[in-house]
């Protein structure tokens, strides 16, 4: 264990880095290991130390965002599968009722045929007082036979349908259980990442937290400035559609509400919860997660984006924000923050999608 405040910060970063590796298999973060110089005070905490904390926090919250997307996706699939199971159950009930009805009709037809037409055609012709009546009744018998064949065929189809419904319901139930487990795993991962980040931040004193906030703002400003300096904004002149205006109004009305992973409002949101609800308010339902929004919605060039479009961030599409125009976005950043306006270039842009293309 290190001595003094600087040693404590270094130890905290190392410990939290280990927690992150355990919580996210396959993902490793380089844990900073600042070593006090011989002339440095053992209690001094430098900007380099705080910058190491900032990078570690960014990594933890990024992984929490990835896990949140996995949780939201599993929850959405579980809801869809539950609805499909309910629909299949209704089909099974109706199929069983139809099967009972067909069996009753088949039984009645068999009994009538036995009572009325047990004799051979030759015997019935000889015993008949009216040959024409016999011929008419024979025609009705043929019609009845055809109807009986159709009845038996429908009976067989209904039985096959019932078996298929039961098989489908069983398959959906298996998927539902798998997605429930995936949801629980993702939830645990989110909680671990957020707890690790909060633990790391809790080790900082008030002045160090202020310096951390300054460094975070500085990093965002630098990224935004670099994006603007690229000249991209001069080519962006798109006007919002009517649905886009409605979505923007909804999203900006949520400013100040807290981030909460898995939340879709009305009191709190995660990043894709905000964007999906904003577009739902405009009558345009879109996928729940940022990754599915990236996969399913129409891609547009950054130079062609307009207010209401969604900007997807990071290579793994783990964050999403809504473009407002003039180089600004509204988004739900991460745990401990609120829905806010930020620079569109303050994070690495993967691409832009348009919900109402």
- Known catalytic membership, residue 125: no
Alpha-carbon distances of 316 from 122, 220, 295, rounded to whole Å: 83, 19, 11
- Known catalytic membership, residue 299: no
Distance, in Å, from the CA atom of 223 to the CA atom of 345, rounded to the nearest integer, reads 6
Per the residue annotation, which of 54, 284, 288, 331 is the catalytic one? 331
Per the residue annotation, which of 5, 319, 334, 354 is the catalytic one? 319
Distance, in Å, from the CA atom of 235 to the CA atom of 252, rounded to the nearest integer, reads 24
Per the residue annotation, which of 20, 50, 204, 271 is the catalytic one? 271
Tokens of 330: 């509204």
CA 118 to chain centre: 65
C-alpha dihedral, 210 to 215 to 221 to 225, nearest 10°: 160
- Known catalytic membership, residue 234: no
Task: Count Cα atoms within 13 angstroms, Cβ side, for 307.
Answer: 19
Distance, in Å, from the CA atom of 229 to the CA atom of 224, rounded to the nearest integer, reads 8
Angle 309-313-317 from CA coordinates, rounded to 5°? 100
Task: List, by residue number, the catalytic residues.
Answer: 271, 319, 331
């Amino acid at each position: 264990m290190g001595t003094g405040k600087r040693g404590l910060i270094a130890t905290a970063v190392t410990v939290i880095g280990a927690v992150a590796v355990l919580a996210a298999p396959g993902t490793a973060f380089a844990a900073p290991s600042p070593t006090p110089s011989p002339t440095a005070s053992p209690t001094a905490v430098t900007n380099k130390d705080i910058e190491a904390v900032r990078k570690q926090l960014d990594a933890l919250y990024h992984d929490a965002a990835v896990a949140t997307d996995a949780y939201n996706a599993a929850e959405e699939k579980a809801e869809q599968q539950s609805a499909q199971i309910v629909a299949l159950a209704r089909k099974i009930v109706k199929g069983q009722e139809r099967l009972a009805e067909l069996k009753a009709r088949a039984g009645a037809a068999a009994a009538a045929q036995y009572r009325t037409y047990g004799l051979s055609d030759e015997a019935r012709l000889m015993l008949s007082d009216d040959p024409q009546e016999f011929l008419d009744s024979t025609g009705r018998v043929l019609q009845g036979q055809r109807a009986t064949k159709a009845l038996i065929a429908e009976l067989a189809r209904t039985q096959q349908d019932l078996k298929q419904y039961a098989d489908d319901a069983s398959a959906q139930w298996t998927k539902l259980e798998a997605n429930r487990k995936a949801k629980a795993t993702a939830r645990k991962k989110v909680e671990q990442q957020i707890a690790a980040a909060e633990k790391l931040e809790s080790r900082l004193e008030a002045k160090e937290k202020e310096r951390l906030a300054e460094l975070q703002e500085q990093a965002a400003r630098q990224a935004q400035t670099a994006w603007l300096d690229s000249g991209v904004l001069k080519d962006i002149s798109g006007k919002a559609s009517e649905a886009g205006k409605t979505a923007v109004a909804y999203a900006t009305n949520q400013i100040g509400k807290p981030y909460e992973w898995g939340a879709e409002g009305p009191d709190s949101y995660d990043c894709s919860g905000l964007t999906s609800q904003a577009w739902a308010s405009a009558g345009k339902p879109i996928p729940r997660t940022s990754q599915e929004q990236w996969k399913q919605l129409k891609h547009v060039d950054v130079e062609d984006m307009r207010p209401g479009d969604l900007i997807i961030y990071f290579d793994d599409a783990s964050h999403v924000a809504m473009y407002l125009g003039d180089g600004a976005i509204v988004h739900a950043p991460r745990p401990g923050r609120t829905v806010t306006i930020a620079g569109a270039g303050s994070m690495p842009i993967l691409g832009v999608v348009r919900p109402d293309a």
